[in-house]
Chains A and B, each alone.
Chain A
Amino acid sequence: MKRIRIIPALLLINDGLYKTVHFKNPGYVGDPINTVKIFNEKGADEVVVLDITATRDKKPINYRKIAEIAGEAFMPMAYGGGIKTFEEARKVFNAGYEKVILNSSAAENPALIGEIANVYGSQSVVVSIDGKKDWLGRYKVYTANGSHSIGKSPDVYAREMEAGGAGEILINSIDRDGTWEGYDLALVKMVSKTVSIPVIACGGAAGMDDFRKAIVEGGASAVAAGSMFVYQKKGMGVLISFPAQSLKI
């Protein structure tokens, strides 16, 4: 029996937390510091914070805010959004995060992965891959918060990222984001069977059953979710929650 990491994935826009559907229509969830405090009290296994407009709007990383968020989090923390250089990654680590998440910058400048991994270790570099089916049903990788296709298949791309020094892959389905329809298991499996590093499934989870499927059928090592941890139910109000029981498989 292994304990499976269950990871709330929180989306930051400016100073607030939001939740999207298909990467669009961000709905306000609340204050990030309070929210992370609640996840800390509930004993979340790990928390991912993604600034989803940092790259698109070419904003500087909000180091002060992210340090405040991590300040009371006694669990592993990962941050992504707008990290383009080693120096920026260094400042994120110093803000109290053990992992940086690269998305657009990993596609534009894959050497950055190795630069960071050489100093902080590959376990500290997560590459986030946003995947979506095209009109022919083929999976493609998108960057810049889902706005730009790089034309590559997620499995091919994930292997490149692993070879470049990534220690973990976060595979997110744009089609399932915020839908509560379950993970895109074919997408998760496509990536997890290709790489030997841990893969975190993200996008579409509605409950523990989806987590189990992502691990058993999708071959993921960990699971992330947004909506189900910040809303009561689909279409209902904000409620921060986290399963009381560990997931053991």
Chain B
Amino acid sequence: MLAIIDYGVGNLTSVLNMFKRLSVDACITSDLETIQKADKLMIPGVGHFDKCMQNFNASGLRPAIEAIKAKGSTPILGICVGAQMMTRRSEEGVEDGLGWVEADTVRFQLDPSLGLKVPHMGWTDVSPANSASPLFNDIPEEPRFYFAHSYHFRFYGEDLTTATCDYGYSFTCAFQRGNIFGVQFHPEKSHRFGMSILTNFAAL
């Protein structure tokens, strides 16, 4: 069973819908026991970083999920703000992130002459890195994903980037550290490209 963590923020239905389509056994849950028994966890996230962190901290699920993460045997995938939460902090707010990776979440600093708008919203081509993670196995040609964000990951220590994309400049849109995975884009809203990512995650 794949557990989609419900800590009171949106877009859970879409994720579950895609897993259903892929015939993956998944559920939306905030039940501690279900989460501890799950063989995979997904942490969604949408909206303000602080709001997500506050909800996550208040959910009472954080210690259990951090214990699962520490054991390292259960793959955990963060999506959008759910992945940003895995960084140390975000320029969007003041709350501490989970600090699972040595990265921060920073605001787009775009050259005004490019005429690009923030949020970065829409479909953008993604380049898996040479050391691409299993999430990008057999990805359909010209991989592209749906993005809707104003902040992105930036790595400081070890660069854990598994894919980049370009919006004014190249930035990390996917990372992996052992069994921890983060993606900035929305696989659940990215047609066959997203299905490929979630199929790969479910198969880990």
**A residues at B contact (CB < 8 Å):** 2-5, 40, 43, 45-46, 67, 70-72, 74-77, 93-96, 98, 118-124, 167-168, 196-198, 221-222, 246
Contact = CB atoms under 8 A, between A and B. Distances in A.
A9 to B, nearest CB: 16
Interface stretch (B10-18, B61-69, B94-102, B154-162): B10-18
B124 interface: yes
A118 B51 contact: yes
A40 to B, nearest CB: 8
Contacts of A95: 13
B34 to A, nearest CB: 20
Contact of A124 (B47, B51, B122): B47
Given A70-B13, A74-B190, A98-B186, 17 more contacts: A2-B122, A2-B124, A3-B123, A5-B122, A75-B191, A94-B10, A98-B148, A118-B47, A120-B47, A121-B46, A123-B119, A123-B121, A197-B119, A198-B119, A198-B122, A222-B122, A246-B123
Contacts of B18: 74
Contact of B11 (A71, A93, A198): A93
A40 B190 CA distance: 10
B189 interface: yes
A45 B117 contact: no
A67 B12 CA distance: 13
Given A119-B48, A121-B46, A197-B117, A5 B149 contact: no
B74 interface: no
Contacts of B148: 76, 98, 123-124
A96 B188 CA distance: 10
Contacts of A98: 10-11, 14, 46, 148, 186, 189
Contacts of A246: 123
B146 A75 contact: yes
Interface of B: 10-14, 17-18, 21, 46-48, 51, 81, 117-119, 121-125, 144, 146, 148-150, 186, 188-192, 194-195
Given A96-B13, A96-B14, A122 B119 contact: yes
Given A75-B189, A198-B117, A222-B122, A123 B14 contact: no
B48 A118 contact: yes
13 contacts: A2-B122, A3-B125, A67-B13, A72-B17, A74-B189, A74-B195, A77-B189, A94-B10, A119-B47, A121-B81, A123-B119, A123-B150, A198-B119
Nearest to B124: A3
Contacts of A198: 117, 119, 121-122
A120 B150 contact: no
A124 B189 contact: no
A47 to B, nearest CB: 11
A38 B96 CA distance: 43
B112 to A, nearest CB: 10
Which among A4, A5, A198 has the greatest number of chain B C-beta atoms within 10 A? A198
Contacts of A5: 121-123
Contacts of A122: 119
Contacts of B125: 3
Given A3-B144, A43-B191, A74-B195, A123 B124 contact: no
Nearest to A192: B117
Contact of B47 (A43, A96, A121, A168): A121
A112 to B, nearest CB: 16
Which among B11, B47, B144 has the greatest number of chain A C-beta atoms within 10 A? B47
Contacts of A72: 17, 21
Given A74-B189, A75-B189, A76-B189, A167 B122 contact: no
Which among A40, A72, A74 has the greatest number of chain B C-beta atoms within 10 A? A74
Contacts of B150: 123
B188 A74 contact: yes
A74 B122 contact: no
A42 B195 CA distance: 15
Contact of A71 (B17, B51, B188, B194): B17
Contacts of A76: 146, 148, 186, 189
